Amino acid sequence: MIPPASDVVVVVPTLGDRPELLQRCLASLTTQFPHPRILVVAPERAHERVRPLLPPGAELLQERGKGLSAAINTGFAAAGDATWVAWLGDDDALEPGSLRAATAALEGDPRASMAYGGVRFVDGDGRTTRVLRPGRAEGRWLLRWGPNLVSQPGCVFRGTALRAAGPLDEDLRYTMDLDLFLRLQRQGPLVRVPALLASYRWEEGTLTVDNQAESAAEAERVRRRYRRGGPAAALLARAGRAAGQVVYHVDKLRPAPRASRGRSLLVVADTMEGGLGGAARRHAEGLAGEGWTVGLAAPGAGASGVRGAATVELPVPDSAFEVAGMLRAARVLRAVLREQAPRHVHVHGTRSQALALLAGRRPWVTFHGAGRLPGQSGPATAVRQVARGAAPLLSRGALSVSPGVGPGWVHLPTASPALTALERRDAASLAPEPLFVWVGRLSEQKRPEVFVEALALLARTHPSARGVVLGDGPLAARLEDLVQRTGAPVELRGDVQGVAGVAPVLAAAWGFCLFSHFEGVPFAQEEAMWVGVAPVVSDLPGTRWLAGPTGAYADTADAAAAALAALCDRAEAVRRGEQAAKRVRTLLAPAAPLPQLLAAYERRG
């Protein structure tokens, strides 16, 4: 099961006046494991603005007192006896795996009061301008005697140590974090995490950047509170400041944003929606987390909130047959290639490969699905098949999420990023009566109407069975009408953001359903099987590869109803779910395909 939310608490203070940044901040928390209890603290006047931005499960608290420190202290007080506590500014974000790395470091050293690590400095456009990687000295003596090079974003405090050290000093305006760090040193050592933990917005208009002189003066006053001795202490202070300035400026000179052309990548994608977009996001963020210089070009890339990558809006047309649109997009891509000069170009989708070739680069290519696209004509399907046959000859490496695409293709599935936040359930979590869940975008490709029709048929023989649809899309109104007309016992819950919304439903479900025309290896199916839910899915190469004998296959409502009827036996649902959980763990590692991609890039130079 997912660890109790109270074990990890993250406090997010906000005024609600920067909604896009707040959403990015909160999104970085919903994909963490352990999954945190999120406490958003805002003045009462901002609650109306902030509440619609909250992910499922997040709590909105009213700030007690005035100012940033008071807001954070409000959250600390509400955290109760949480094992781990952190706070994150509403314009900052955690890197993937941040909480896991920090809490593991604290668990590894029971004496430690706090974990800290590297921070990525980003500008107003989200571009990385600098990477700060503090060492052990920065968390020991330099903290007290020199400049503070331990950045607060990404830090995690041991709850007992935080409660013993006391709340933030609300009289401090800039350096309340330094004051807390020095008090935490009295409770136990600060442990360094050798990884990037967060991104920190550093631009004009932020409190720290606009008031650096005042901040430095306040920091020196804070340090004097914790120093002892006379002339010797003063000498140490001067030496510490000098050493700290050397460390700071040497670190500042490191060419972090563009480390080397050999470790630079441009990811190009047909779309940022659905499984293909999720895979492209994972690709870009994963390589950026490994220290690569990464760009991402796709429709909607600028608004996607991808961390660590320079994003570019690429106007990919809806069809490769739109010649004028393809030529226009190729010109944009050619300009991006000139500007970024990446060593590797990796495309996701048929149109993206065509654009890369038109722009003059032979790319790596990943294709994501198999089956027939809704509304696609016979000739268009034939052209698509020819393009797939030729793709390996026109690429540096041809990778397919689906198996059995053809000669020259390497089967390399992508694991859902949510797997790290999901754990295998126990049988006691199943709902009392049969509950079946459908997860996906409400679109022609996904055929959600088959699920509704199957539940209407199933209700005739199993009246206690019910269904839940998690997702939104262009067919939402049509599906709601179908539920009313058929009387199907189906609840349409709309778009549920993040693991916190999906995990409880999967834990209770007796079966998972997806009846698409076209799929690769669906993230939703991976997540359901990972938790231990038996799949009933359409018979496509990727869905069958993943489910194997643990799944049932159906392409019509009648066949789906029959498969679900078998799962209305609780013992059978548990047995099949356990088999599914075992199978998915033998086929997928949560890190896939990043290790394989890194190895491939290294082999090919």
Answer whether residue 7 shows pLDDT above 70.
Answer: yes
What does the alpha-carbon distance between residue 547 and residue 555 come to, in Å, rounded to a whole number? 15
Q: How far is CA 241 from CA 142, 226, 342, 484, 587, in A?
A: 8, 15, 39, 71, 53
Per DSSP bridges, beta strands 190-201 and 93-94 are antiparallel
Distance, in Å, from the CA atom of 88 to the CA atom of 40, rounded to the nearest integer, reads 10
| pLDDT confidence tier of residue 449, bands split at 50, 70 and 90 | very high
What pLDDT sits at residue 236?
56
On whether the CB atoms of residues 531 and 392 are closer than 8 A, the answer is: no
**Domain extents for the chain?**
5-252, 261-415+595-604, 422-587
Looking at residue 128, its pLDDT comes to: 79
Q: How far is CA 509 from the centre of its chain?
A: 24
* CA pair distance 166, 40, nearest whole angstrom: 20
pLDDT by residue (tens digit) across 278-318? 899 999 988 887 778 899 999 998 777 788 888 999 999 99
- Is the distance from CB of 505 to CB of 491 less than 8 angstroms? no
Residue 197 has pLDDT above 80, yes or no: yes
**CA–CA distance, 95 with 98 (Å, rounded to integer):** 5
Strand partners, 436: 467, 511
* Angle at 369 (CA atoms; ends 364, 374), nearest 5 degrees: 130
Report the range of poorest mean pLDDT among 528-537, 539-548, 594-603: 594-603
CB 84 within 8 A of CB 106: yes
**In sequence order, what are the residues at sequence separation of 6 or more whose Cβ sits closer than 8 angstroms to the Cβ of residue 559?**
553
User: Cα separation of 506 and 43, whole Å?
Assistant: 35
Tell me how far CA of residue 268 lies from CA of 67, 89, 288, 340, 352, in angstroms: 43, 31, 15, 13, 6
pLDDT band of residue 499 (cuts 50, 70, 90) is confident
Give the 3-state secondary structure percentages of the chain, helix then strand then coil, rounded to 5: 45, 20, 35
Q: Is residue 479 classed as helix, strand or coil in its secondary structure?
A: helix
Q: Does position 583 have pLDDT exceeding 90, yes or no? A: yes
Taking each helix axis from N to C terminus, what angle separates 378-390 and 350-358, rounded to the nearest 10 degrees?
60
CATH number, domain 5-252, options 3.90.550.10, 3.40.50.300, 3.40.50.2020, 3.20.20.70: 3.90.550.10
Q: How far is 108 from 63, CA to CA, in rounded Å?
A: 34
241, 147 in Cβ contact below 8 A? yes
**What does each C-alpha distance from 10 to 41, 51, 150, 482, 560 come to in angstroms?**
11, 17, 18, 41, 42
310, β-bridge pairs: 295
- In a 3-state reduction of DSSP, which class is residue 373? coil
State the pLDDT at residue 454: 98
d(CA 384, CA 374): 14
Share of the chain above pLDDT 90, in %: 58
User: For residue 211, what are its two tokens?
Assistant: 């008031």
Q: How confident is the model at residue 204 (pLDDT cuts 50, 70, 90)?
A: low
- Higher per-residue pLDDT: 41 or 369: 41
Confidence of residue 384 (pLDDT cuts 50, 70, 90): low
pLDDT at 552 over 60: yes
Give residue-wise pLDDT tens across range 113-168: 999 999 988 887 777 788 888 988 888 888 887 778 899 999 999 999 999 999 99
CA distances from 208 to 6, 391, 427, 449 (A): 31, 50, 51, 53
C-alpha–C-alpha distance, residues 580 and 506, integer Å: 13
- The CA-based diameter of the chain, rounded to the nearest angstrom, is 88
Across-strand partners of 265?
294, 344
Which pLDDT value is given to residue 209? 59
- Name the 3-class secondary structure at 382: helix
Helix residue ranges per DSSP H, 51-140: 68-78, 98-108
pLDDT in tens, 263-278: 899 999 999 988 899 8
Backbone angles phi, psi at 172, to 5 degrees: -90, 140
Residues 435-458 as b/e (b if ≥16 CB within 10 A, e otherwise) read bbbbbbbbbbbbbbbbbbbbbbbb
Sequence letter at residue 51:
R
Asked if 5-252 and 422-587 have one fold, the answer is no
588 neighbors 413 (Cβ within 8 angstroms): yes
What is the end-to-end Cα distance of the chain in Å, rounded?
42
Angle, alpha carbons 337-338-344 (nearest 5°):
40
Weakest mean pLDDT among 86-100, 234-248, 300-314: 234-248
- Domain at 261-415+595-604: CATH code: 3.40.50.2000
Q: What is the pLDDT of residue 258?
A: 41
Question: CATH assignment of 422-587, given 2.60.40.10, 3.40.47.10, 3.40.50.2000, 3.20.20.70?
Answer: 3.40.50.2000
* Closest to 513 in 3D by CA, of 462, 465, 572, 467: 467
Supply the pTM of this predicted model. 0.60
Backbone CA torsion sign across 531, 534, 536, 537 = positive
Nearest to 351 by CA among 371, 368, 372: 368
User: Strand runs (DSSP E) across 248-337, as ranges?
Assistant: 264-269, 293-298, 309-313
Sheet containing 490-494: which strands, arranged edge to edge? Answer: 490-494, 466-470, 435-439, 511-514, 535-537, 552-553
For residue 79, the Cα-to-chain-centroid distance in whole angstroms is: 24
